[in-house]
Amino acid sequence: MSELIDLDAVLDNTTSIGDDTEPARVEIFRLGGVVYSVPALVRVNVLLRAAYLAQAQGDGPAEAWMMRELLGEEAHEALLGYASLTADQYTDICVRVQNIAAGRAEPDEGKAKPGSTPGAKRKALAA
């Protein structure tokens, strides 16, 4: 039989009181002069909850929850309040966040290459 994985021991070794270092973040979009970002490494429990929501409620609610969870309330509210947000822009933001959540590396240290997102591809096809 396999050995017990003691998550309490891992927690005890990695949690330090007073550790105020911020985890690495990846910039996603700028709006109103404010840059919004997500964690560079997404916690596994976030991915597990998104998978559970996808199974229980469908992909749409799972994606919406994960976007809000990773972007944070301030960034999510900024997008909700931006009346000029296009479907292509929102798709590009979602794809970047989903790629980071899935552990896929961002090209050029977090900057999307031109034409590398679905919104940019749709624009190229329409031209």
- State the pLDDT at residue 113: 42
Q: DSSP secondary structure string, 24-64?
A: PEEEEEEETTEEEEEESS--HHHHHHHHHHHHHH-HHHHHH
Structural domain tally of the chain? 1
Q: Give 106's pLDDT tier (boundaries 50, 70, 90).
A: low
Q: Which domain holds residue 48?
A: 22-126
Query: Does 27 reside within a domain?
Result: yes
Query: Does 7 reside within a domain?
Result: no
Query: Does 70 reside within a domain?
Result: yes
Q: In terms of pTM, does the model score above 0.95?
A: no
Query: Does 12 reside within a domain?
Result: no
- State the pLDDT at residue 9: 67
pLDDT in tens, 5-62: 777 765 554 555 555 567 899 999 999 999 999 999 999 999 999 999 999 999 999 9
Tokens representing residue 4 in the block: 């017990």
pLDDT in tens, 87-99: 999 999 999 999 9
Query: Does 17 reside within a domain?
Result: no
